[in-house]
Structure 1
Amino acid sequence: MIHERRSAILQMTSAVLDAARELLREEGFVEILPVILAPVTDPLRHTTDRAVVAAYGQQWHLTRSMIFHKQAAVRVLNKIFSLSPNIRLEPAGWGQSGRHLFEFVQLDLEVREATRDDMLALGERLLVHIVERISESCIKELALLGRELSEIRAPFPRIPYREAEERYGDGFEDHVSVRAEGPVWIVDFPVEVREFYDREDPSRPGVLLDMDLLYPAGYGEALSGGEREHEPHRIQNRIERQGLDPTLYGSLLEAAQAGLPPSAGFGIGIERLVRFLGGLLHVREVRLFPRVPGEPAAM
């Protein structure tokens, strides 16, 4: 029975990847290979230890996300996506959340000249398509897992960050997710809680043109993204406002000086998506060889 359950989850994961690729290719996306090591990676705004390898006279960061590489890639291609392994050495206690692995895969995508509204619509199309495909192609797997997938319909509700914070206080994401009957967008994050590459709304200083999607029933964050800062002076200013060392992001600033196009995108965690679709207790069930914060691994 254990192997049957594991097999069902792996079959569902494969079907999720097929469905995601199907929709994105229909919409003109090109899949690119992921970046595993880089001189610079996503700084993130939450507690994460650095994972660094010294080689060839240089320090290489294990990828936390492909954000900077996506911005550079859309200089060449209009629409790109990658199934990107991420390493995030987060606090050991986070392993009990059911949502955290320190090695996981993101479906990371970016679109040149796109807006946040474009990404909200794309995120909805993608999730609706995946749920439809899994409901059709994974009937036996869902039955074995005891999961009945409900239809989801777009558009999803949108709640401004400050409104959710006023209603539920700190950690409101869990409250919203538990109470939601379907996926819910959180939009308009304040500039101080997100990374410097998320674009500040020129007409609303201090407010970002970004978004998170929350799954219903307490499954938590699904995806995160938005519009990107692409002008060198704005990137430099945001780096300095966050108290970061601009020299650490020299390659990004050089790319911006050479010309980064306006773009928007998001990343959606594959393991969390399968956890939601399968009604699983923990994302560890999605991986044959899970890397859970605070837990030893046999292989």
Structure 2
Amino acid sequence: MESTGRLSTRILEHLRDPLVKSAVRVKSALLGEANNFLRGKGFVELLPTVVSPITDPLNHEVHNPKFRYYDQEYRLTQSMIFHKQLACKSFDRIFIVSPNVRLETSEKALSGKHLFEFSQIDLEIKNASRDDVMLLVEDLLASVITTIKESCKRELEYLSSDPLVPSRPFAKVKFMDAYEQYGKDFETVLSSSFTEPFWLIDFPIWEREFYDLLSDDGKTLKDMDLILPKGFGETLSGGEREWEHPRIINRMEFKGTDPEELAWYMEIAEMRELIPTAGCGIGVERLARYVCSLDNVLKTRLFPKVPGQSWI
């Protein structure tokens, strides 16, 4: 356990670090441009849901704290996946700059891309396809980087970063093709070899959660990840969503998910009140790390929280 004195000194050093301050300014500009872009495309911004009786079960190990408030049990929101889908009953296009708390295991502390408190630009579109979301994100990323290169010249120069405005359309790589060619670490291999962002698509059914829409082949999902080049890795996950109750039940059985853990969401699905949507979540700190050419996402936040470590 780090002493209070040493921790307070480290906090002050971090707050004074001109590199951190430059990265935070770039991240602020990134968020501003993304907000302007999405509003210009007809999106309605919602405020985040921080705690909820239900949250994303995720597809990997995390600590999952719960707390009781009067007669209701709540969880920290690990993603707004279910709330986004339901919000599209009110609006055709929505986005949220959403704080996420995922208490990741300590072995991810040294990855350079994991925080247990981070932000996502969450967006969802009613009656949209995966391709619709991918095209939107390609335009969004190009717009954000173009604007930042102009508005944050001083900061990028200090950071020795010159982010490339990506050419479109982005390349697409199928999960199983990459897996068979490069093995389980294929994402690292491909991210290091590409010079522009690319899409990883068609994940196998066992690789993702029950809410990603199963393709007609019964084996792959209509989902995608956005992989950043030069070794920066994944910054976005998304896809089309399951919305029919029998299909959701079947997918839950396959994944071993207990419907009772998502009781009111499942009741809405059984009432046939869910609708087809597609969307994604863009990791703000990971995207800022890439734009700023940083070795660690903790440098994009004034008060970073690293898995398994005493931090701010």
TM-score by length of structure 1 reads 0.97
2:207 alignment partner, one of 193, 199, 209:
193
**Aligned residues of 1:188 and 1:207 also touching (Cα < 8 A):** yes
Cα-to-partner distance string for 1:167-215 (whole Å, 9 max, x where unaligned) = 11002111110011100100000111100000001x2111100000100
Paired amino acid for 2:62:
T
Aligned pairs (5 A) from 1:83-102: 83-102=97-116
Rounded Cα–Cα distance in structure 2 between residues aligned with 1:93 and 1:131: 32
TM-score scaled by length of structure 2: 0.93
Alpha-carbon distance, 1:280 to partner: 0.6
Correspondence for 1:226 among 211, 218, 239: 239
**Residue matched to 2:266:** 253
Once the two structures are superposed, the pairs formed by residues 60-75 of structure 1 within 5 Å of their partners are: 60-75=74-89
Amino acid aligned to 1:181 = T
The partner residue of 1:266 within 280, 284, 295 is 280
CA distance in 2, matches of 1:179, 1:194: 25
2:305 maps to amino acid: R
User: Is 1:41 aligned to residue 60 of structure 2?
Assistant: no
> Secondary structure of 2:59's match?
coil
- Structure 2 matches for 1:139-178, cutoff 5 A? 139-178=153-192
| Equivalent position SS for 2:113 | coil
Residue 38 (structure 1) shift: 0.4
Q: CA deviation at 1:151?
A: 2.4
Could you tell me how far apart the structure 1 residues matched to 2:178 and 2:307 are?
29
Instruction: Specify the alignment match of 2:4 in structure 1.
Output: none
Q: Equivalent of 1:280, from 284, 294, 299?
A: 294
- What amino acid does structure 2 have at the position aligned with 1:263? T
Distance 2:165 2:126 in 1: 31
User: Shift in Å at residue 51 of structure 1?
Assistant: 2.1
For the residues of structure 2 that align with 1:221 and 1:108, how far apart are their CA atoms? 15
What residue number does 1:104 align with?
118
Q: Is the 8 A contact 2:19 2:299 kept in 1?
A: no
The letter for the 1-side match of 2:89 is: R
Whole-Å separation in 2 of the counterparts to 1:255 and 1:131:
40
Kept in 2, the 8 Å contact 1:72–1:255? The answer is no
Gapped runs of 5+ residues in structure 1? none
Deviations 1:14-50 (A, max 9, x none): 1001110011001000000000000010001111110
- Mapped to 2, the partners of 1:99 and 1:279 lie a distance apart of 12
Distance in 2 (CA, whole Å) between partners of 1:231 and 1:88 is 28
Question: Could you say what the CA RMSD is over the residues aligned between the two structures, in angstroms?
Answer: 1.1
How much has 1:56 moved relative to structure 2? 1.2
Fraction of identical pairs, as percent:
44
Q: Is the 8 A contact 1:49 1:88 kept in 2?
A: yes
Candidates 219, 227, 239, aligned match of 1:206: 219
- The residue identity in structure 1 corresponding to 2:46 is I
Counterpart Cα distance in 1 of 2:130 and 2:34: 20
Where 2:134 maps in the other structure, the secondary structure is: helix
1:227-246 alignment, distance < 5 Å = 227-246=240-259
Alignment match of 2:145 (pick from 131, 143, 149): 131
